[in-house]
Amino acid sequence: MFTKYFGCSFVACLLLAQAAGATTIVQSNGNSDSSEPLGYYAPYVQYGLTPTVYAVEWSQTATYTNVDVTANLFTAGSPGIVDYSLVTEIGTGTSFATSGIIQGSVTTPINPTNVNLFDLSSLGPGTYFLVLSSPVPDTAWQYNYPFQGNYSTAPGVTFLGDEESDASSIDSAYAPGSSFRGATVPVEFQVTGTLATPEPAPLGMCLIALAGLAVFTSRARRQGHVADPNVTNQETF
């Protein structure tokens, strides 16, 4: 009897442990019906709004491992380039040396596609800014249209909003160091990862429960309250 219950419980624990794998940390998705220019966009010249740098911000209270970051990007007409930075603060006077986590570039396709920007082995509690810009004209970041955000976050994660900088407000040497202002364009991106310390930790809790079950069963047998599985006609209560 105990062996049967133990086996079923152990299988349940394994299933719970598998469920504690990769999850969405923060995501903004939508219909991709419009796009936010990154870098130079000729129609915006008359408004003094080009080039453009765009950023999204979120906070998290837990550590995640195997973190993957993607954004829905494209460059009209031919493949382009997007420069990315993940930092802990933005604005004038900031630098990658003091607030940077990772920076680099990716190639963008000619049609809107979820592009993998980078992967991190671990990302701890804190506030983060994902900043994108482009040296290639007509590059863009897709967003949900009309301007309605559609956000998903893990427990302990808060999406804090969008920021943008344009024209003379941009720091051409270090995009996150530009002068930013709040924006309302819900660009599409996703950050996924595995919670480093599940709350509660399914496997750990299961193992504790199994140990308790074993102790309880052992004591009950010594007290004569558990039937001998080798006796076929014995009744138990």
Q: Is residue 72 pLDDT above 80, yes or no?
A: yes
The total domain count for the chain is 2
166 and 227 in a single domain? The answer is: no
Per residue in 76-115, pLDDT (tens digit) is: 999 999 999 999 999 999 999 999 999 999 999 999 999 9
Residue 103 shares a structural domain with residue 178: yes
Residue 91 corresponds to which tokens in the numbers above? 């604005």
Q: Residues 14, 30: one domain?
A: no
Q: Do 53 and 152 belong to one domain?
A: yes
Q: Which residues pair with 164 in a beta bridge?
A: 54, 181
Given this model, what pLDDT does residue 21 score?
82
Do 173 and 59 have their domain in common? Answer: yes
Q: Within this chain, do residues 6 and 102 fall inside the same structural domain, yes or no?
A: no
Q: What's the predicted TM-score (pTM) here?
A: 0.78
CB 129 within 8 A of CB 57: yes
Q: Both 85 and 50 in a single domain? A: yes
**Model pLDDT, residue 6:** 45
- Mean pLDDT for the chain? 85
Q: Which ranges of the chain does DSSP label H, i.e. alpha helix?
A: 2-19, 96-99, 202-222
Condensed to tens digits (0 to 9), the pLDDT of residues 210-220 reads: 555 454 455 55
- Collapsing DSSP to helix, strand or coil, 81 comes out as strand
For residues 32 and 55, membership in a common domain is answered with yes
Chain-centre distance of CA 224, in angstroms? 53
Residues 164 and 234 in one domain: no
**CA nearest neighbour of 57 among 144, 161, 150, 183:** 161
Looking at residue 212, its pLDDT comes to: 53
Tokens of 207: 């193992």
Domain hosting residue 210, numbered range: 1-20+202-237
Say yes or no: 93 and 184 in one domain. yes
User: What digits encode the pLDDT tens for the residues 25-71?
Assistant: 999 999 999 999 999 999 999 999 999 999 999 999 999 999 999 99
Is the same domain home to 167 and 227? no
Q: How many residues does the chain have?
A: 237
Kindly calculate the radius of gyration of the chain based on its CA atoms and give it in whole angstroms.
26
Residues 6+ apart with CB under 8 A from 230: none
pLDDT digits (tens, 9 = 90+) for 156-211: 999 999 999 999 999 999 999 999 999 999 999 999 999 997 555 455 554 555 55
Are 2 and 97 within one domain? no
- pLDDT 10s digits, 18-33: 445 889 999 999 999 9
Please give the pLDDT value at position 5.
Answer: 46
CATH number, domain of 162, equals: 2.60.120
